[in-house]
Structure 1
């Protein structure tokens, strides 16, 4: 639910505009605030898990997420809604790395592939089915229900976790890394805010993009020498884990895959909405074959990763994703839905064999006392790489559209139509209808060119994937000691 809530709000933005009499830029903070809070709290999760125990912290995270969800449903103004979305994001940001830590410790290195496969299903399906669930709830009930649906699930999760999770046995904790927190958490938030603003402004040079992104990047880069300084304080995120070659290769593979996957995840619904005229719910439903393909291969891939090593599984998965993505380089304004749904299904088959085997390849090499910090590192990699990939492909798409005068005019008129009403709206619709025959093929060509870039990004994953382990896991490695535990 925490992953799904990143996108479930996307279909409610227009409803928020009408409900709170706000602009599109103002209501976008209901998504931005959640994402920034989620990203900011991830670096703290590793230290807090070691300090307070994973069970206590997991219960706190579920409680914050659930209470934040209920308060969002009760919000009577946009400012209050954004504030409670931040609270919801603080809880949601801890859930995934904590869940990965708990499951990794419980499974042990020889079963981690199968466990990660189970965890990977919501990771891949959340972004796909968020708009579908949000659209359905708004149509059948009202907007507060996109948040209230978390209440019964949160209550069940709290009760179940109290019973089944083992009691915490906390060791004396290291001193908290205050300098690391002051560098990394705001650095991540500023950088992600900057790059997430690129689709709106179309360029890195805009003040609202370049200034926060640059400042955030400076803070994140400044964290690196601090984390490697060898002081007595254990850093907030343990970069020394990258001395473990298998971990380093997995992080590189995950970064490249996240750039391509999350960037392309933006392109598919945009094409369906802007070129084929689908609404958000229809675009979400058209992405279902991708989720179906992932559900088919993910359990099998997890089992094979445990028995044969993740390297071979990931190579096959990346190849399938590359083939599916390459099919989208042939897009036209009237490309058959059967062709596109088939391509999405092939991509889904590949994604189910890629993302979580890479994750398990990294985590199965870690000693028990490094698992919480390792999951935080992998999740930060996902957040940063996903934001960079989304920004990169958004800039390419913007330049493609601006390079076509007709397509650019069509998009500008469409933007004005979303803010117009009455006679002005009718006039703009007539103008759109006149522009469409020439503009839609040019728009489709622009999307096809962006998918060329996305295909190249996915293909690059084959390089680090070649160096992933091709044998069953032997056990965790302590990178600082260089000995096997």
Structure 2
């Protein structure tokens, strides 16, 4: 029997708006910091007097710290409460930003980037937990649209903002720019976030932490080294070590059940399992495209780094157009149809990118990226919402942690797989050619197409309240 919802039940209330404002302010900084430094690697190496292989750890260290910290989110929320965990994470991220800006050497900068990553790793899963608890199943689509805003803006604004700050101020301002935003987010968090009950008996699964956090870090590191010319042995060691530790954690979690750091039995829920699988495949393909397009554009003489960053902007513009629509459709129809429609749209856009002739100018590629953005704005909110709609409130922190782990590993795998494909297709030539980029984009199309299989398994209707 179906029931008609009162419009007042699905209209965002002031408390939900307040939480949304707080979490967007906090998470947008961490997402930007994952991309903003990329454009300044050469500048950092020159100013700090170190090699590029050394300064690259300012990116790698941040990413590894993010990956290692995510698994403790569920325990931290249960032990200290979501509000306290959020405020502590923001404070760590803000302190890391100040110290990064004041760094006196490459070693200091890398260490402070790790501190930033420790704080940033907790923010996204805590944000998802705060919003999903406040929204309830009937408003999950629009809630996930809100939490998707930072991930939509970061690939567009990160390189652009980094280029502007480095060109007109100093690389130190890439970190100092976080400070006023972080201060405002902390003030709003103290005033607006609701207090939650804490579980004093919540014990940290030390063995699970010792297995999962290093396992994820090793996987991400191994994947990041896969595309490096001299990283073969490091990539293999990282991947083997990561797979062994992660498999050991899964066995440990199945034995320990709800007392584990992350209960892998949550994936028995069809909505969460299908959503996680779709997000994983989708992240691999789409983040591979985000790597390929700037490289493709820079293969044309006269195109610089800032031009390549600006070329990604149409994708963000397209996502912003469809994201609010995705939230409303998901709440009204379920996640199934918007998610599939979005994936199909993204597939059309990537295929169009593969057929673009860059010598004809940037407009055709920008149009194809806009189409990808239209689909991306439908996919992310709807499929993320599907992960939570049928779950009880008590397991939401674990589900949020699991979804972030899936996305983190998927993005690292996407960069690694596409890099290897591009290198394979350009083997024996002086550098990447148009045919190699086209082939790599077609591979990305095939990977995203695989996401259709689990997306079709997403429940068509949400469970009754």
TM-score after normalising by structure 2: 0.91
Q: Does 1:341 align with 2:369?
A: no
Instruction: Report the counterpart of residue 17 of structure 1 in structure 2.
Output: 45
Deviation at 1:277, TM superposition (A): 4.5
Counterpart check, 1:361 vs 2:351: no
The match for 1:428 is none
User: Is 1:405 the counterpart of 2:422 in the alignment?
Assistant: no
Q: Does 1:71 align with 2:99?
A: yes
Question: 1:98: which partner in 2?
Answer: 126
Equivalent pair of 1:275/1:443 in contact (CA under 8 Å) = no
Q: CA deviation at 1:121?
A: 1.3
Kindly state the Cα deviation for residue 175 of structure 1 after the two structures are TM-superposed.
Answer: 2.5
**Equivalent of 2:60 in 8, 22, 32:** 32
- The structural deviation recorded for 1:474 is 2.9
- Cα distance in 1 for residues equivalent to 2:172 and 2:188: 25
Aligned to 1:470: 460
Q: Which residue of 1 aligns with 2:450?
A: 460
Report the equivalent of 2:255. 229
Alpha-carbon separation, structure 2, partners of 1:10 and 1:406? 24
Counterpart-to-counterpart distance in 1, 2:326 and 2:104: 46
| CA–CA separation in structure 2 for the residues paired with 1:356 and 1:297 | 10
Once the two structures are superposed, residues 335-386 of structure 1 have per-residue CA deviations (whole angstroms, 9 ceiling, x without a partner) of 4312111100000000000012111100122111100010000000001111
Q: State the structure with more CA Rg.
A: 1
**Is the CA contact (8 Å cut-off) linking 1:324 and 1:346 kept in structure 2?**
yes
Counterpart in 2 of 1:209? 235
Note the C-alpha offset of 1:191.
Answer: 1.2
**How do residues 371-386 of structure 1 correspond to structure 2 at under 5 angstroms?**
371-386=396-411
Matching residue of 2:277: 252
Change in 2 beyond 3 A, CA 1:163/1:179: same
Structure 1 position 218 matched with structure 2 position 208: no
User: What is the Cα deviation at residue 333 of structure 1?
Assistant: 4.7
1:13-162 equivalent positions in 2, closer than 5 A: 13-162=41-190
The answer as to whether partners of 1:63 and 1:91 remain within 8 angstroms in 2 is yes
Q: Is the 8 A contact 1:8 1:130 kept in 2?
A: yes
SS at match of 1:3: helix
Native 8 Å contact 2:80 2:199 kept in 1 = no
Q: Distance in 2 between matches of 1:181 and 1:4?
A: 27
Partner Cα distance (1:332, 1:406) in 2? 20
CA RMSD of aligned residues (A): 1.4
Give the CA deviation at 1:30.
0.5
User: How many pairs align?
Assistant: 437
Shift of 1:103: 0.5
The Cα shift of 1:280 comes to: 2.0
Kindly provide the CA deviation profile for residues 189-232 of structure 1, in whole angstroms up to 9, marking residues without a partner as x: 111111111222277xx11211122111111111111111146x
Residue deviations 1:167-197 (CA, integer Å, cap 9, x gap) = 1211333332111101000111111111111
For 1:427, the equivalent position in structure 2 comes to: none
Gaps of 5+ in 1: 408-441, 476-485
Corresponding residue for residue 284 of structure 1? 309
Query: Is 2:208 the counterpart of 1:180?
Result: yes
Query: CA-to-partner distance for each residue in 1:234-280, whole Å, 9 max, x for gaps?
Result: 11111111111121111111111111111211111111223454222
Gaps of 5+ in 2: 1-28
